Amino acid sequence: MTVPPGRRERKKAATRQKIADTALRLFLERGYDAVGIREVAAEADVAVTTLFSHFAAKEALVFEQDTDFEQRLTEAVTARTPHEPLLPPLRREIQALVRHCTADGAAPIWRMIEASPALREYEELMRLRHAESLATAIAADPDSSLTPTASRTIARFVIDAYSLAREAPDPDTAVDEIFRMIEAAWDVARTS
């Protein structure tokens, strides 16, 4: 049974969400580079130190679900039942992320990210970190006989599936197509 979060945790989560929502609104209204951290903190009615206790960098305000996504990906591997295939839960997580990132209202955010070198760099570093976390989970899986290199390769394929599908004209079809290729790579890696 999952224990519901206490009052303190709920309050921290609400503050974090308020900061992220405020930042995103200001960034979209005035441009990412035109808005400073102090402005976000003032508009969210929090201290700058409070903002930084929730977000390590200005770029993190745009990618506020970063840690949750990374955790969901690794849990897709680690929380499986014994001998459950690895790729279907990863596919579901990528599909959910793609749907989230292609939902109504997401296009202006992606245009902002594409227009900002700092946000593009942050996203790339975030994706590399996610791939390393996922590779570690895959390599540690007792049902996996993959080498560290094969684990890292499969993890990178899974992480890249998100970006490729998000940019495709038909994201759902793209996820299907990409995961067929990942499954083929998985089969080859497991028999090598």
Q: For 140-153, how does the pLDDT look when each residue is reduced to its tens digit (9 = 90+)?
A: 988 777 889 989 99
pLDDT of residue 3: 61
Taking each helix axis as running N to C, give the angle between helix 148-167 and helix 117-140, from 0 to 180 degrees, rounded to the nearest 10: 140
pLDDT of residue 108 exceeding 80, the answer is: yes
Q: Residue ranges per domain, the chain?
A: 7-58, 66-191
Give CA–CA dist 102/100, Å, rounded. 6
pLDDT of residue 6: 86
CA atoms within 13 A on the CB side of 122: 18
CATH class of 66-191: mainly alpha
pLDDT of residue 105: 85
pLDDT band at 106 (very low <50, low <70, confident <90, very high): confident
pLDDT of residue 82 exceeding 90, the answer is: no
pLDDT of residue 165 exceeding 60, the answer is: yes
pTM of the model: 0.86
Q: Look at the domain 7-58 and name its fold.
A: Arc Repressor Mutant, subunit A (1.10.10)
